[in-house]
Chain A
Amino acid sequence: MRVGFPHFGNVYIPVKAMTRRLGAADGEVIIPPPITQRTLDLGVKYSPQEACLPYKLTLGSLIEACELGADTLIQARGTGICRLGYYAKGQEQMLQDLGYNAHFLTLDVSHNKFISIMRLIRDMSNNIPWREIIPAFFFGIGKLFALDKIEKVVQKVRAVEVEKGTASRIYREAINAVDEATESKEVKEITKEYIHKVIQVPKDPVADPLKVGIVGEIYVVIEPFANMDIEVELGKLGIEVERTMTLSRWIKYSLFLNYLGVDEWREVHKLAGPYIDHDIGGDGWESVGEKVLYAHEGFDGVIHLAPFTCMPEIVAENIMTSTKEDIPVLAVTCDEQQSKQGMLTHLEAFVDLIGFRRRKREHGRRV
């Protein structure tokens, strides 16, 4: 069995760590190459035209995994409300048409997530005992937590660093270092070391950066290729970015705390309540609530990332136009037609707008 899975943010890092720990033979787990223009082109070519970007990118990524010899593919599935439930159906058919005889294993990401992930690992690992699987699993996700922790600092520093690009460079080094680490202790040390490095980056002492929150559909929010590296671009423009949605948060809650009755979105859902009080699939409900949250927290703006034709996010966008919390929202449509230049133009105009609003507000207060 040669297992492949689609590239999605840093997911490959824990998978790699885990398979090494469990002593998988070479080639038993195929790490998908990072998403490139080629991945996108493949996905676009073989997807229905109006499929959402995450569908196209994961299809492209799975094709690349098949090219590397994968014969078993993992794809997310949800009995949730969105198209996710359709991914495996459509993609399996397409891969067969292309002549890859790959078998799909789906991972239920809407119910009993912890159990379904554990089962999947066990099914694939030829019945390695639980006492080996569980520590390997924690070692793997420990890496994700480490990276997200470093990234949080990077998001702040990017906005105020003197030499643009330094923090991002250090972050890339950190990803590699964490990826290489073989012990949990080592991961912890690396985390400390790199956070320190990022904090040490020379900064503009008087900068008081504008702050924006990023909301939207999970795949395009987390995978930098899908959002054209919007966080890095915002950093270049001197904007501090915050984003609630991270892989480690998803894992922390979906796999553990939800079982204890903790709902990470309770607060956000409550804030969305006056406008929408029920789930609409995908991440639409959360997007509305997070807009309200960022407005309450005094952010200068919100960037809403939505794949083209994404149903839940279109609902969210329509609702967001008229919440009484007044905070500028820039909707960015993510699809293969969007040019980076076009996005940058929109970003710059948006930054001007929120900068103007902040100045007006501060001025107003002084008078």
Chain B
Amino acid sequence: MVTVGIPRALLYYQYYPMWKVFLEKLGAEVVVSPPTNKSILNSGVTRGVQDTCLPVKVFFGHIIALVGKCDLMFVPAVTSLGKKSYNCSKLIGLPNMARALIPESPPLLAPEINCEKGRYNLYRNIYAVGRYFTSNPFKLKKAVEEGWASNLDYWNKMSDEKITPLQAIDGKLSTDVNASSFTVALIGHPYIIYDEYVSHRLISRLQKMEVKVVTPEMVSQEELDAATRRLVGVPHWLFEPEIIGAGGYYLETGVDGIIIVAAFGCGPDSMMLSIVEHRARESEIPLLPLSLDEHSSEGGLVTRLEAFLDMVKRRKRVCV
């Protein structure tokens, strides 16, 4: 049986259920790299050029961690899912960077997913992947459909049950924060906020501080899209809904505070952040921007969090 490696990084957090079902239905065995740890981070950081953003460096680390454990590596280039909005250049060029920087990696399964290029192109690219496993187009079609269905389930599950990808995929239990006195929205790319190593376990840390944490994945896609439209019009990037849309949504529905986590060196984050910040100033909801890089220390983070939460608490008491 062919083993396909899936790096636990970047788009993994959004599409893993689909990829897994798709590949398994085609008869592959799927292995996922372990959660980010120090050696994964370090091995990734030494590969890319210095100015590369942290999440992409982490991704390289995950590929390295899978070397020797699989026959093929699944690294799709997700360019566009239609509606004229595109992904970040680094995600579009991801397989190309991986090939250049990690020559020891097993061959990449790297379909380009670009709905702007039309259906035919999309089918052809998916078909090229399927050919590795089956020559039966019906089997392939079924695998695609079942994969897609399981991802829809996954997204719905998160927004219905208000849970995070970590809970939905790994069945991690949420720390019960019933007595929590206030709610904070945590906004950022899923591959930052749910990577516990990179984010210094931000979510559970907040929960321990008795904060109810809400994240973009807990809002339905339609609501995110609508909020994005209200704030900036037609989205230009694929992930605007999960950052701008979620920011706007939580500002409108009212939370006690917003924490935006950006990756240091992330081009899109810098632009999107300023739009959400602007909006937060208007609605006078406290906002804490955090920027993470490979050197960011846990201590510094905790200090800033505590100061922020103190402020949120004080404000709330005054308001009540």
What is A's interface to B at a CB cutoff of 8 Å?
A: 48-52, 55, 79-83, 85-86, 89-90, 93, 97, 275-276, 278-282, 284, 306, 308-312, 314-315, 317-323, 331, 333
Within 8 A of A (CB), among B48-101: 48-49, 51-53, 77, 79, 84, 86-90, 92-93, 96-97, 99-101
Question: Which listed residue, B99, B270, B274, B278, touches A309 by the CB 8 Å rule?
Answer: B270
For the complex, is B242 an interface residue (Cβ under 8 Å from A)?
no
With the chains together, A224 CA to B204 CA distance in Å?
49
Sample (18) of A-B pairs whose CB atoms are under 8 Å apart? A48-B270, A89-B233, A90-B271, A275-B100, A280-B89, A281-B86, A306-B51, A309-B51, A311-B90, A314-B51, A314-B90, A315-B92, A315-B93, A317-B49, A318-B49, A318-B101, A319-B93, A319-B100
Residues of B with C-beta under 8 A to A89: 232-233, 236, 275
- Chain A residues with Cβ under 8 A from B53's Cβ? 314
B103 interface residue per 8 A CB criterion = yes
Please give the distance in Å from A74's CB to the nearest CB on chain B: 19
Complex Cα distance, B79 from A38, in Å, reads: 38
Q: Complex Cα distance A310/B273, Å?
A: 17
Residue on A with the closest CB to B88?
Answer: A311
Interface centre among A314, A319, A320 (most CB of B within 10 A): A314
Closest to B274 in A: A48
Identify the interface centre among B79, B87, B271: most chain A CB within 10 Å of its CB.
Answer: B271
| Cβ-closest chain B residue relative to A277 | B96
A86–B271 contact, CB under 8 A?
Answer: yes
B225 within 8 A of A: no
CA distance A85 to B278 in the complex (A): 19
CA distance A163 to B232 in the complex (A): 54
A300 to B143, CA, bound (A): 51
B51: which of A308, A312, A322 is its contact (CB, 8 Å)?
A308
Residues of A within 8 A of B232 (CB): 89
Known: A278-B112, A310-B267. A81 touches B49 (CB 8 A): no
Instruction: List residues of chain A with CB within 8 A of the CB of B275.
Output: 89-90, 93
B90 touches A276 (CB 8 A): no
Chain B residue at smallest Cβ distance from A322:
B100
Instruction: Tell me whether B266 is interfacial, beta carbon within 8 Å.
Output: yes
* B89 lies within 8 A of A82 (CB): yes
CA distance A284 to B271 in the complex (A): 20
Is B256 close to A, CB under 8 A?
A: no
Which 9 pairs across A and B sit closest by C-beta, in order of nearness? A50-B270, A315-B93, A311-B89, A85-B236, A280-B93, A48-B270, A276-B96, A81-B86, A312-B89
From A51, A93, A284, contact of B270 by CB (8 A): A51
Smallest CB-CB separation from B47: which chain A residue?
A: A318
Chain B residues in 8 Å Cβ range of A317: 49, 51
Closest B residue to A51 using CB positions: B270
Bound state CA distance, A319 and B100, in angstroms? 5
B268 at the interface (CB under 8 A from A): yes
A48 contacts B89, CB within 8 Å?
no
* Minimum Cβ distance to chain B for residue A315 (Å): 4
Complex interface: chain B residues within 8 A of A308 (CB): 51
Q: A318 CA to B269 CA in the complex, in Å? A: 21
Residues of chain A lying within 8 A (CB to CB) of residue B87 = 81
Q: Kindly state whether residue B265 has any CB partner on chain A within 8 Å.
A: yes
Q: Which of B93, B103, B278 contacts A284 (CB 8 A)?
A: B93
Further pairs besides A50-B265, A333-B51: 4, Cβ < 8 Å:
A93-B278, A278-B77, A278-B112, A317-B51
**A34 nearest CB across to chain B (Å):** 26
A280 touches B270 (CB 8 A): no
Chain A residue numbers with a CB within 8 Å of B268 are 83, 311
Evaluate contact between A315 and B271: CB separation under 8 angstroms.
no
A312 to B267, CA, bound (A): 10
Those of B23-64 within 8 Å (CB) of chain A = 48-49, 51-53
Which of A80, A93, A310, A315 has the most B CB atoms < 10 Å from its CB?
Answer: A315
Given contacts A83-B267, A309-B270, contact A281 B49 (CB under 8 A): no
Residues of A within 8 A of B88 (CB): 311
B271 touches A319 (CB 8 A): no
B89 touches A315 (CB 8 A): yes
Report the bound CA distance from A306 to B49 in whole Å: 13
Q: Which residue of B lies closest to A272 (CB)?
A: B96
Contact A49 B270 (CB under 8 A): yes
B37 to chain A, nearest CB (A): 23
Say whether B79 contacts A278, CB under 8 Å.
yes
In the complex, chain B residues whose CB is within 8 Å of the CB of A278: 77, 79, 92, 112, 114
- Are B52 and A318 in touch, CB under 8 angstroms? yes
With A and B bound together, what is the CA distance between A331 and B267 in angstroms? 18
**Which of A83, A93, A97, A331 has a CB less than 8 Å from the CB of B49?**
A331
Expressed in whole angstroms, the Cα–Cα distance for A55 and B87 within the complex equals 19
Nearest opposing residue in chain B for A316, CB measure: B93
Residues of chain A contacted by B99 (CB below 8 angstroms): 275
Known: A86-B236, A281-B86, A309-B266. A318 touches B97 (CB 8 A): yes
Please, what's the 1-or-0 string for B231-250, where 1 marks a CB less than 8 Å from any CB in chain A? Answer: 01100100000000000000
A52 to B79, CA, bound (A): 21
Separation in Å of the B133 CB from the closest CB of chain A? 23
Kindly list chain B residues whose C-beta atoms are within 8 Å of the C-beta of A82.
89
Does A318 contact B100, Cβ atoms closer than 8 Å?
A: yes
B101-124 near A? 1/0 per residue, CB < 8 Å: 101000000001010000000000
Q: Which partner residue on chain B sits nearest A97 by CB separation?
A: B278
A contact residues around B278 at 8 Å (CB):
93, 97
Question: In whole angstroms, what is the CA distance A279 to B100 when docked?
Answer: 17
A99 to B92: give the CA distance in the assembly, Å: 38
